[in-house]
Structure 1
Amino acid sequence: MADISVATNRRPSRRGRQRRPLEPSPIAYIFYPVLAAAIILPLSWALFGGFKNPNELFTYPPTIWPRSPTLQNFVDIFTRLEFGRYIWNTILVAFFTVLLTLFLGGLAGYALSRWDFQGKEALMIGLLGLQLIPSTVNIVPYYMIMSSLGLLNTLTGLVLIYTATHIPITIWVLKGFFDTVPRALDEAAAIDGCSKWQTFWRVIMPLSLPGLSVAGFLVFVSAWSEFLVPLVIASNKNVAVASVGLFTFFGPEQATSYTSLFAATLITVTPVVIGYLFAQRYIVSGLTAFAEK
């Protein structure tokens, strides 16, 4: 019996298999630097091309750093080519699009987060399905609607189209963040005498700042870089945006100045980069919270 008890108490030692760390293939040490160079070098050439003279841009062998840096290209695009007007139009359109989209999307997202009703799930799926429709499919209806409203070649027309396009994804993003806010805060605000509107504006919205930053940045980048819709809806030079303004550099009226084009491209992408740097903390925390939800 002793032998049996000893045998029963003994447990066979099992050595777990130790996973060997993955070692990159020798080909990876060659492939990834080549891939990084293929991506970074053309971007660097275009980035610093805005500070070069036209004769220096196509010299052989090509150089990344300008030999004699100049700001004349930036002066030309703002004086001779009136690129400042395009940038200002883009700022107005993007700003009011973000403002209107966050306001309407926030109200709808809060309602979907706090109230249950029949067909709610179908509505959410329908909103998500709207995002699968490319803007090229809607370009003709957009044109006909704006023409009937007398909003062709107006910044207001662009703001309305962008807002209608981005409201579904904004509702989805903000509803996810509103769901993380405890409903007990709504009840506490109601006990303190707050109306539904005051609860939404003074309690829910400040607590959802990371979500607002994520949704606002997505809408801003999309509105800032949209090309096809403003090309068709607002092609007039007085209301053209930056993406359409860049396209005019290839027009038949004048020879293409690539140094001016690179300078205009640098000016166009700078607000997006600056906006991301300022809102980076909220965007990262918002994306993390949305991913963990």
Structure 2
Amino acid sequence: MENKVEIELKKTKTPFSIYKIWDVSATLLSYLLLILIAILVLMPIIWIIGASLNEGSSLMSSTAIPKNPTLSHYKDIFLKTKFGYWYLNTLKIAVANMAVSVLLTTTTAYVYARFNFKGKKSSLLGILVLQMFPSFMGMIAMYNILWQLNLLDNHWGLILVYASGQIPFNTWLVKGYLSNIPKSLDEAAMIDGASKLRVFFSIILPLARPIMVFLALTQFMAPWMDFIFPRLILSSNSKKTLAIGLYDLISGSTNTNFTNFAAGAVLVAIPSTLIFMYFQKYFIEGILAGASKG
């Protein structure tokens, strides 16, 4: 025999209850919001691609869908500028920054995740506080240091600043991931005679591949569109990066290479887009796993 509560629920239940209407409305609103965000994101991309295919050199007369599309701007940017040199310079900086950053961050995070030493908590707190300060605050100091080390107008000076500047945030990120790897694996390996260095390379690094790939990709993409610091450090034409070179195309009052600039912007975006699409799962795994409490 049904109880009174079940009888009352059956009486009030309707095919189109207020709860179902609310669920449908919320779902519809979510999809509309996602469509709006997609339009806002895609519109500038479509427009800049269209501008790179338009005739002439002015962005004011460019349209998202060109009437007479041309690839001449892509040809001009290679033949009439040093785009190839800018590209190679930026690629060299990005690869070197990726390698140095991964080395510095993983070793630092491993020490904090696996060792106990005096001042560990206070130094971790110091790292946490350091990442709260904007990088602009230290630009003059970094310029002075690089000047004293004779690293001004040198790609290695830029790489060292990039690699060292990412340590505070990425150390916390990678430490959170490494702390979730059971220490019993380390102990079992050391019982078998493995050294701490062997444990690091043979056990920790293979298990930490998702967060390391995430770290490597983010550090590889970081220098591609950074403008302010390279502009401060680099002065010679042969050392220019993509951001500086493309800016110089349109910076002067007589420069009207806006469609060439659009073509260059598209070429810069292609590697980052392809890398992100191919390694997207590592980005998600790295963010979620590194966010775990360690």
Q: TM-score range by the shorter chain?
A: 0.7 to 0.9
Give the direction of change, closer, same or farther, for the CA distance of 1:197–1:19 in structure 2 (3 Å limit): farther
TM-score (norm 2): 0.85
What secondary structure, in the 3-state scheme, does the structure 2 residue paired with 1:136 have? helix
Contact 1:173/1:215, CA 8 A, preserved across alignment: no
Give the direction of change, closer, same or farther, for the CA distance of 1:98–1:58 in structure 2 (3 Å limit): same
Contact 2:58/2:257, CA 8 A, preserved across alignment: no
Task: Using the TM superposition, give the Cα deviation of residue 222 of structure 1 relative to its aligned residue in structure 2, in angstroms.
Answer: 2.4
Give the direction of change, closer, same or farther, for the CA distance of 1:29–1:173 in structure 2 (3 Å limit): closer
**In the alignment, what sits opposite 1:230?**
230
Contact 1:235/1:244, CA 8 A, preserved across alignment: no
Task: Using the TM superposition, give the Cα deviation of residue 34 of structure 1 relative to its aligned residue in structure 2, in angstroms.
Answer: 6.2
**In the alignment, what sits opposite 2:272?**
272
What is the RMSD computed on CA atoms of the aligned residues? 2.9
What code does the residue aligned with 1:45 have?
A: W
Q: Which structure 2 residues correspond to residues 75-224 of structure 1 after superposition, within 5 A?
A: 75-224=75-224
Range with greater deviation from structure 2 (163-172 or 150-159): 163-172
What secondary structure, in the 3-state scheme, does the structure 1 residue paired with 2:5 have? coil
Match for residue 5 of structure 2 among 6, 9, 13: 13
1:258 and 2:258 matched:
yes
Range with greater deviation from structure 2 (91-100 or 188-197): 188-197
Contact 2:49/2:262, CA 8 A, preserved across alignment: yes
State the distance in 1 between where 2:219 and 2:31 align: 38
Report Cα offsets for 1:210-231 as digits up to 9, x if no partner: 1112222232232322211101
**In the alignment, what sits opposite 1:50?**
52
Give the direction of change, closer, same or farther, for the CA distance of 1:247–1:289 in structure 2 (3 Å limit): same
State the distance in 1 between where 2:205 and 2:182 align: 13
Give the direction of change, closer, same or farther, for the CA distance of 1:80–1:121 in structure 2 (3 Å limit): same
Range with greater deviation from structure 2 (64-73 or 235-244): 64-73
Contact 1:101/1:170, CA 8 A, preserved across alignment: no
Give the direction of change, closer, same or farther, for the CA distance of 1:148–1:57 in structure 2 (3 Å limit): closer
Report Cα offsets for 1:2-21 as digits up to 9, x if no partner: xxxxxxxx987388999722
State the distance in 1 between where 2:37 and 2:111 align: 47
Task: Using the TM superposition, give the Cα deviation of residue 191 of structure 1 relative to its aligned residue in structure 2, in angstroms.
Answer: 2.6
Contact 2:174/2:290, CA 8 A, preserved across alignment: no
Q: Percent identity?
A: 28
**In the alignment, what sits opposite 1:285?**
285
Give the direction of change, closer, same or farther, for the CA distance of 1:171–1:52 in structure 2 (3 Å limit): same
Structure 1, unmatched stretches of 5+, are: 1-9
Give the direction of change, closer, same or farther, for the CA distance of 1:173–1:88 in structure 2 (3 Å limit): same
Task: Using the TM superposition, give the Cα deviation of residue 175 of structure 1 relative to its aligned residue in structure 2, in angstroms.
Answer: 0.7
Range with greater deviation from structure 2 (156-165 or 45-54): 45-54
Give the direction of change, closer, same or farther, for the CA distance of 1:253–1:81 in structure 2 (3 Å limit): farther
Give the direction of change, closer, same or farther, for the CA distance of 1:19–1:195 in structure 2 (3 Å limit): farther
Number of aligned residues: 282
What code does the residue aligned with 1:226 have?
A: D
Give the direction of change, closer, same or farther, for the CA distance of 1:231–1:55 in structure 2 (3 Å limit): closer
Range with greater deviation from structure 2 (156-165 or 244-253): 244-253
What code does the residue aligned with 1:41 have?
A: M
State the distance in 1 between where 2:104 and 2:40 align: 43
Task: Using the TM superposition, give the Cα deviation of residue 271 of structure 1 relative to its aligned residue in structure 2, in angstroms.
Answer: 1.5
What code does the residue aligned with 2:51 have?
A: G
TM-score (norm 1): 0.85
**In the alignment, what sits opposite 1:41?**
43
State the distance in 1 between where 2:29 and 2:285 align: 36
State the distance in 2 between where 1:158 and 1:200 align: 29
Structure 2, unmatched stretches of 5+, are: none
**In the alignment, what sits opposite 1:4?**
none
Contact 1:54/1:258, CA 8 A, preserved across alignment: no
State the distance in 1 between where 2:227 and 2:58 align: 30
Task: Using the TM superposition, give the Cα deviation of residue 253 of structure 1 relative to its aligned residue in structure 2, in angstroms.
Answer: 7.4
